[in-house]
Chain A
């Protein structure tokens, strides 16, 4: 009887999963459509006409098996201002490719931030403390009592960053003075890492001093095992923002494979901004990053040691002394949509799928 009921349940669960996946894809496509409308409004016009729409649908059908993937490609065309053959629509990337690139059993290895220092040594930022399973630990995983922790933080007397594990888009990240830290600020059951606030490299500070400005480097492990860095851009805050996230209003600047910055920045909606920072006046074309090769080499060489996942998004800052330092690595939802639109197509054919 129990076996019979369990069997019914598993069948029901399978059908429900199929249904929810369809609903999620529908939801994603509605978002892609509404984002396209927004971009058309912002740009004051659309590049899509009937003929181009047909080209896009034909491409979607031919490459992805269904014309219903057209909204993501149409969005990319609006962002880029023209259609580029070879784009991957976000819904296909997110629901079809990513689970293959970064299988579920390994997809969260990058989310366990409290392991980064023990994994990567000084390429990661040495934590002051970690809060794991409702206990405080030092960087060597030795338990630390709350009073001792508060004393140490008071003595540290500088700005600290408190980040939750499995956090997303800079949300829940606290930047506070160490003396202001209270254990009650941490949500029980969630793990946190407490790090020094990094003083960044002079040039990056001149670009915009109120946020730690980070390079997002994408690395991809090819089928032959080699690792490439197909894309790098620098993110920075604007208008007094303390964070550099694009979703929080920040902007980005594409850096070509030789380390040369683009002339103009982009915002979250893929709109070109100016040729200099709107607050500091720093001219983007003047940005020189002497350690650019080190940044790329650090990311690709580490990725080679983690071949279990194929696509990783690395967030790297450069400290005062000019050393690249890992802020975080994203193995889950390391997908890119507007990046492929603006700077791609990164996968023009299916040879790597």
Chain B
């Protein structure tokens, strides 16, 4: 009786999971259709015609098994101005490929921000302290009492960043002067890493000084174990924003593998912006990042040591002295859509997909 009830429950759960996956796919596709309409409205032109739509659907059916994957491919076509065979639609990437590439049990590695310094050493930013279950620890996980913590903060006396483990987006990051920190101001149910606020490399500061501007390096572990760099973009804030993320209105420029920047920037929707920063006037083509290859090598090597997941998005800044420093690594949803449209197809080899 009991076993049969449990069995029935599991069957029902499976059916509901399938249903919710369908709903999520439908929701994502509606998003793609909305975004495409918005893009067309903004640019005032559409490149999609009946013939291209037919080509897109035929490609979706051939490569992904269903024409239903057409909306993201159509969106990419509008963004790029032409259809490129080889693209992977975002819904397929998120709901079909990512669970295979980054299995759920290993996906949380990158969310445990308070382990980053332990894992990556000085490539990560050395924390000032940690808050774990309401207790305070120094960067070596030695317990700090309140008196020692306050002493440490008083010695530091500068701007700090408070980041949540399992935080998502910019909302769970706080900037605070160390003198303003008070014990018990953090939620004891959440773990935090408290880092120095990074003063960034001169050129990046000239580009836009109000946000820490970060490189997103997306690495992909191939089946032979080698790690490829799929793309590199530099993100920066605009219009007084303190954050560089695209979702918060930031812009980005692409870098090629030789470290040369593109001449134009893009926003989160893939609209082409100007050739110079809209606030500082910095010309993107003039950006020179001498430590670019070092950034690439650090990300590639770090991925090599975490082969559990195949796709990782590394957020790397460059500090005042020119040293690349890891801000975070994304193993949960390191997926790409606008990047695929603008710079892709990034993964054309079907052998590597499954």
Contacts and interface: CB of A to CB of B under 8 A. Distances in A.
Interface of A: 2, 5-6, 9, 12-13, 16, 19-20, 23-24, 26-27, 30, 105-106, 108-109, 111-112, 114, 118-119, 132-135, 137, 141-143, 166, 191, 224-226, 304-308, 310
B225 A23 contact: no
B132 interface: yes
A118 B305 CA distance: 10
A105 B166 contact: yes
Contact of A143 (B12, B27, B225): B225
Nearest to B189: A103
Nearest to B188: A223
Contacts of B141: 304-307
A134 B135 CA distance: 39
Contacts of B5: 23
A308 B191 contact: yes
Interface string B108-146: 100110100010000000000000110101001111000
B20 A9 contact: yes
B304 A308 contact: no
B23 A137 contact: no
B23 A2 contact: yes
B23 A133 contact: no
A112 B308 contact: yes
A105 B165 contact: yes
Given A305-B140, A307-B141, 11 more contacts: A2-B23, A13-B20, A23-B9, A105-B108, A105-B111, A119-B118, A133-B221, A134-B223, A141-B304, A166-B105, A307-B135
Contacts of A225: 135, 137, 143
A155 B12 CA distance: 52
Contacts of A24: 6
Nearest to A118: B305
14 contacts: A6-B23, A6-B27, A16-B16, A20-B9, A20-B13, A105-B112, A112-B106, A114-B308, A141-B304, A304-B141, A304-B142, A305-B118, A305-B141, A307-B132
B13 A16 contact: yes
B224 interface: yes
Contact of B16 (A12, A143, A304): A12
A133 B307 contact: yes
Interface residues on B, range: 35 or more
B26 to A, nearest CB: 6
A304 B307 contact: no
A132 B307 contact: yes
Contacts of B19: 9
B335 to A, nearest CB: 18
B27 A23 contact: no
A57 to B, nearest CB: 23
Contacts of B223: 134-135
A23 B2 contact: yes
A23 B308 contact: no
B30 interface: yes
B36 interface: no
B299 to A, nearest CB: 15
Contacts of A307: 132-133, 135, 137, 141
B310 interface: yes
A312 B147 CA distance: 29
A106 B9 contact: no
A238 B342 CA distance: 65
Given A305-B141, A308-B132, A106 B112 contact: yes
Contacts of A135: 223-225, 307
B225 A9 contact: no
Contact of B23 (A5, A20, A106, A304): A5
A2 B27 contact: yes
A17 to B, nearest CB: 9
A2 B143 contact: no
Interface string B131-173: 0110101001111000000000000000000000110000000
Interface in B274-311: 304-305, 307-308, 310
Interface in B295-353: 304-305, 307-308, 310
A23 B1 CA distance: 11
Contacts of A6: 20, 23-24, 27
Interface string B203-233: 0000000000000000001011110000000
B24 to A, nearest CB: 8
Contacts of B310: 133
A320 B140 CA distance: 31
A19 B9 contact: yes
A30 B118 CA distance: 44
Given A2-B27, A106-B112, A118-B305, A137 B225 contact: yes
Contact of A9 (B9, B23, B166, B221): B23
Contacts of A141: 304-305, 307
A27 B24 CA distance: 33
A134 B27 CA distance: 33
Contacts of B221: 133
Contacts of A114: 308
Nearest to B19: A9
Nearest to A133: B307
Contacts of A19: 9
A241 to B, nearest CB: 30
A137 B106 contact: no
Contacts of A5: 23
B2 A30 contact: yes
A134 B222 CA distance: 11
6 residue pairs, one from A and one from B, having the closest CB atoms: A143-B225, A305-B141, A225-B143, A225-B135, A307-B132, A141-B305
Contacts of B133: 307-308, 310
A27 B308 contact: no
A191 B132 CA distance: 30
A224 B146 CA distance: 12
Nearest to A134: B223
Given A2-B23, A27-B2, A191 B308 contact: yes
A273 to B, nearest CB: 33
